[in-house]
Structure formats: C-alpha cells, structure tokens
Structure 1
C-alpha cells in the first residue's frame, strides 16, 4: 500500500509517517515508480506506536517495541528492552502521582485554613503557593 492508504488505515497523516520514517521507526520500501510502499506488518508497527503514544510514551520509547515486532515476536512487549521501558514509565508515573499527592495535601491544608479564617472574620488567608513565588519579587 502507498503512504496515503497507510495513513488513512491508521488514522494518521502522511507527515507523521514520514517523521516516523526519518526516525527509523517505520521503514518504507520503494516501488519501481519511486513511491513508498508499505504492507500489513508496517500497519501493525504503526498501531503499536500509536497505542504507546496514547499511553504517553515518547516516540523514542516506542523503539524497543517496534524492534521486538520486527524481530518476529508476536507482541511488541515480549522483549526485555520493552519490559524495561514499561518499568521506567511506571516509575515516572509513580513519581508524578507522588508529587500530585503532595500538592493535593498542601492545597487541602490551605483550604481548611482559608475556610477557618474566613468563618472567623480574620485577615485574608496567606497563600503559601503564591507567596513562595512572591518571596523573590521586590513588591
């Protein structure tokens, strides 16, 4: 199939396919007329890339999965390098979740303090988040 058909079947653009090709993630063969030619295996590789991108993987992180499929494995994540990328991505997500939990706890504390101050008619509550940024300013 030609690049336009592959893009249509995969729900992407020819520009994206050329970009993947420039990174070595997709390898086009050339037909006698010079047009790029792809097959169902290329569509399978492309779908693997798309699924991983939907999960938030960077393009370079998809390479071990693509290489695994090219090596003839039934699934792109059945190789050690792919499993390592999963582990690394999960560790990144865990770090992000931990940071979000910290922010949520601090925000919850701010809310409680603001509500108490508001109910008691005290001075306007101090916001730790904006004050940290203001400490360096010269206002």
Structure 2
C-alpha cells in the first residue's frame, strides 16, 4: 500500500473513531434530556438556550466527521464543545488523577486533541469532500 493511501486510511480511522465516540455522548443527551446541560449553563449566568449548543458539538459535528463532510469544521465544533465542557464541568479536575492513575480529563483531552488533529490534517481522500 502506498504512503498516500496509508495517510488517507489513518485520517479515515481518526475521523470515524472520534465521530462515533462523541456521537454516543450526543445520543445519550438526546435520550436523557437536555435539562441538566441547560441548568449547568444557567448556573454560569448564561442563557439556558446555549446549552442546546452541545447538540451541535455532539451530534451534528460527529456526523460531519464520520462522513468527512466539511470535516475540518466538524473538528473545530468538537474542539469548541470540549473546551466548553472542560470550562463548565471539569475545571476542578485539571490537576487531578483518576482512580486508575491517569489524568482525570484524559477522555476530554483525547477528544480535544484528536479534533484539533483532524482540523490540521483534513479529512483525507476517503470522505464526502474527498480531499
């Protein structure tokens, strides 16, 4: 297999993995209701309607990543979603270790960095946009 194809397959794997894993969080929010998210946003003094933005970052953006449709934009949206989640929910854990010894925010950190990598790399040839 030539290096260009390997790179495109790696981009596909990165996009689809991040997309599916973040989408599962979005589906859980759709099934469980948005009340908790809206309440968290309101507790920060922001309009509750902004809580629905999580659906952009955890449903729309992952679907964009999975398909490779404007995947760089999808990566930006996931990255923004993760930054907001870290600020609103996880600030107190930035310097903490989890019960297994790893960083308490390793999942959020991995999602954030993977989204940024997709923004920098692009979707690859195996995508709706095909670049």
TM normalised by structure 1 equals 0.28
User: Which structure carries more helix by proportion?
Assistant: 2
